[in-house]
Structure 1
Amino acid sequence: MEFHPRDTVDIYERAKNQPFDHLWYKVHYFQQKSYRESEANKRLKDLQESITPSKRQGDVFDKIRRRRYEALALMGDTSRVMILHGTPSGRMVHGLGAGHVRETSITLHAVYGVPYIPGSSIKGIVQHWALQAFFNGKEDRFKKALDERQQAALVMNDLFGTQTSQGIIQFHDAFVRGNFFLKPDVITVHYGDYYQGNKPATDNMHTVPNGFYTVTDGIFEFILTQLYDIRGCASGLAAEQLLDIAATWLRLALTEFGIGAKTSSGYGFFRELTDVTNAVLNPVKENLKRKEAKKQEALAKKREEEEEKRRQALLEERLNNMSEAERLAYEIEQLSDSQEDQDKSKSVLYEQVIAHAEQGELTPAKALKTYWERIGSWKVKKKARRQYGKVQTIKTYLDDES
């Protein structure tokens, strides 16, 4: 018998009869319709006309995004955070050359199934843009400028780091959000035999179309972070200035160079990037404050309940160690000024007090006297004959002439 965590079992039970909608499997699995070598040219299924995330998958993406926002909001205690929304000007494909049965691929998150641009790619294109913009793409010019302590080179070192030190900006994975689609496109190989090293390239070679998926619609969410505790930047600029520079360079890189595959054909370019940090994180921070307040309230309530349990346990232990007379005296001491308690003290409890007094146990009688003094029922006139008689009886046992 195999055992699994309860939450895993619950998820499986809910999902086992649901349609299979994880994008990773739709793109990377179940692509072949034949495994015969004789049908090699017909072995692949046609690409779907369009792949749209299901509502359930969309709900998963929303939950992931909310958790990410909460993590970023909590990072605000130690780091500066900047969130930029980028709108592609056309189609977008990243990871086209990754291993795939179709020999064309697309970068999808293996767990979440959402298209994304890895942070390493984002950092790479921004660094490439800076090298092109300031040093004409020449590494030797950059190194010379670094030796001469030129500002642009020093800023690049601060942002991206070196072989011996890390950069001060963290480039996070950029996930697509909104109503996006995966739509097919085609790469047509004209000289397949030539590329395989079999024949010289000629115009009579058969073209080989290869299908691949691209991301259309939706927006990409770019995130930059930077620790507050940054000192001694080589450029001499403040850390917050360097974060602004990184965001500016990111905008320029994505609008001028694009990112991903086939940028020379117009893929992967962005129209604009908008800073949405406050609009996104402020509501999240307020919600976290409310959650924390509720959490602290629940903890305080729990502590009170535990303290009350502890007091009750001590009281129970104390009562268990008391004699009957001591327990009766304790009960009288706990009486309030309510009419119900006053009536109880003059009936049931009074009779019990007298019974103990007859046995020589006077502690309950003393407690009852104190209680009646408090509520004004000790010094009564003779005309209140019933209560007057009870007081006189108590006095007799206590040898009290007051």
Structure 2
Amino acid sequence: MSKDSHSRSSGGFGQQRPQWIYPPQSVLQELSSAKFVHPVYPLAKFCKIGMDNTGALKPDRSALKDMLSAVHKRMQDGICAEWLRRRNSWVGILEASGLARRLILKTNTRTALWLSFPGPTEVGVCLHHVYGVPYLPGSSLKGLARSAMWRDVAPQSTDPPDEVTEIFGLGGDSGHIGLVDFLDGIPLGTSEILTLDVMTTHHAKYYAGNIPYPHDCEGPNPVL
């Protein structure tokens, strides 16, 4: 976080010099001197909001870089190793009894969760609410496994087969719980597992509800 409440942003404003109107200078000073700031704060509660030369309010997209730096520092501090050690202290007992199974998985491509972030930048990432590091929620892993089994057992069925609902459960008023639980996926190592990327929205007016149908006349809108 910069202490200069009127400094030029490196993202979102081009060559314009915005006037930062949020957060207050006192908050920026406290954040800059804090021992630990949760990585999601630059994206959400304390994302700098500025006013450009046209009077429009825009978020400082360099907050994404601030978030990456904070996440990488948490990874280097060994927070994930400690998280894994504490979990293994009790999961190991279940595993020895045949009641749990531990898997080490690696994604084949880049993975992004929680992109629809309810914050000023409107771009987010899945960070643990306490530890501030990327992780794979157990609910996402369970949904992935459920979809894979459904695809293998009954790929043409529009309703989940009994084999799937018996293991993974069934929602609704007449539903029931499943037979398995999935714990959150913890990242291994201390490497920089997050990187900036560019998403290009090709139909911004359509998504905003300003036109009834998408078409190729709209200009793309790259988003960092």
Q: What's the TM-score bracket when you normalise by the shorter of the two chains?
A: 0.5 to 0.7
Tell me the equivalent position of 2:169.
Answer: 161
Tell me the equivalent position of 2:207.
Answer: 195
Q: How many residues align?
A: 184
Q: Specify the SS of the correspondent of 2:92.
A: helix
Indicate which of 24, 41, 44 corresponds to 1:25: 41
- The structure whose RCO (Cα within 8 Å, separation 6+) is larger is 1
Written as runs of structure 1 = structure 2, the 5 A alignment for 1:367-382 is none
Partner AA of 1:127 in structure 2 = R
Q: Which has the higher strand share?
A: 1
1:38 is aligned to 2:55 = yes
- Give 1:66 shift: 1.1
Q: Which has the higher helix share?
A: 1
Question: Counterparts of 1:197 and 1:55 in 2: how far apart (Å)?
Answer: 40
- Give 1:78 shift: 6.1
Q: Specify the SS of the correspondent of 1:139.
A: coil
Written as runs of structure 1 = structure 2, the 5 A alignment for 1:289-304 is none
Q: Deviations over 1:247-299 (max 9, x none)?
A: xxxxxxxxxxxxxxxxxxxxxxxxxxxxxxxxxxxxxxxxxxxxxxxxxxxxx
Question: Counterparts of 2:133 and 2:74 in 1: how far apart (Å)?
Answer: 13
Residue 80 of structure 2 contacts residue 186 of structure 2 at CA under 8 Å; is this kept in 1? no
- Give 1:135 shift: 1.2
Q: Specify the SS of the correspondent of 2:223.
A: strand
Tell me the equivalent position of 1:229.
Answer: none
Question: Counterparts of 2:209 and 2:219 in 1: how far apart (Å)?
Answer: 15
Partner AA of 1:44 in structure 2 = D
Partner AA of 1:191 in structure 2 = H
Q: Specify the SS of the correspondent of 1:170.
A: coil
CA spacing shift, 1:122–1:205, aligned 2, 3 Å: same
Indicate which of 102, 111, 121 corresponds to 2:121: 102
Question: Counterparts of 1:24 and 1:124 in 2: how far apart (Å)?
Answer: 25
Q: Deviations over 1:35-87 (max 9, x none)?
A: 568234x5323332953522686333322221111121244576622111112
Question: Counterparts of 1:175 and 1:56 in 2: how far apart (Å)?
Answer: 11
Q: Deviations over 1:313-370 (max 9, x none)?
A: xxxxxxxxxxxxxxxxxxxxxxxxxxxxxxxxxxxxxxxxxxxxxxxxxxxxxxxxxx
TM-score, with length taken from structure 1: 0.40
1:205 is aligned to 2:218 = yes
Q: Which is higher, the Rg of structure 1 or of structure 2?
A: 1
Question: Counterparts of 1:45 and 1:157 in 2: how far apart (Å)?
Answer: 43
Indicate which of 77, 80, 92 corresponds to 1:58: 77
TM-score, with length taken from structure 2: 0.67
Written as runs of structure 1 = structure 2, the 5 A alignment for 1:157-306 is 157-162=165-170, 163-178=174-189, 179-199=191-211, 201-211=214-224
Residue 135 of structure 2 contacts residue 185 of structure 2 at CA under 8 Å; is this kept in 1? yes
CA spacing shift, 1:66–1:130, aligned 2, 3 Å: same
Question: Counterparts of 1:35 and 1:74 in 2: how far apart (Å)?
Answer: 56
User: How much is the aligned-residue C-alpha RMSD, in angstroms?
Assistant: 3.0
Indicate which of 90, 99, 111 corresponds to 1:92: 111
Partner AA of 1:39 in structure 2 = A
Residue 59 of structure 2 contacts residue 121 of structure 2 at CA under 8 Å; is this kept in 1? no
Question: Counterparts of 1:196 and 1:55 in 2: how far apart (Å)?
Answer: 36
- Give 1:164 shift: 4.4
Question: Counterparts of 1:132 and 1:177 in 2: how far apart (Å)?
Answer: 29
- Give 1:197 shift: 2.1
Structure 1's unaligned 5+ residue stretches are 1-15, 147-152, 212-402
Partner AA of 1:173 in structure 2 = D
Query: 4+ residue runs of structure 1 moved beyond 6 angstroms?
Result: none
CA spacing shift, 1:161–1:95, aligned 2, 3 Å: same
CA spacing shift, 1:137–1:124, aligned 2, 3 Å: farther
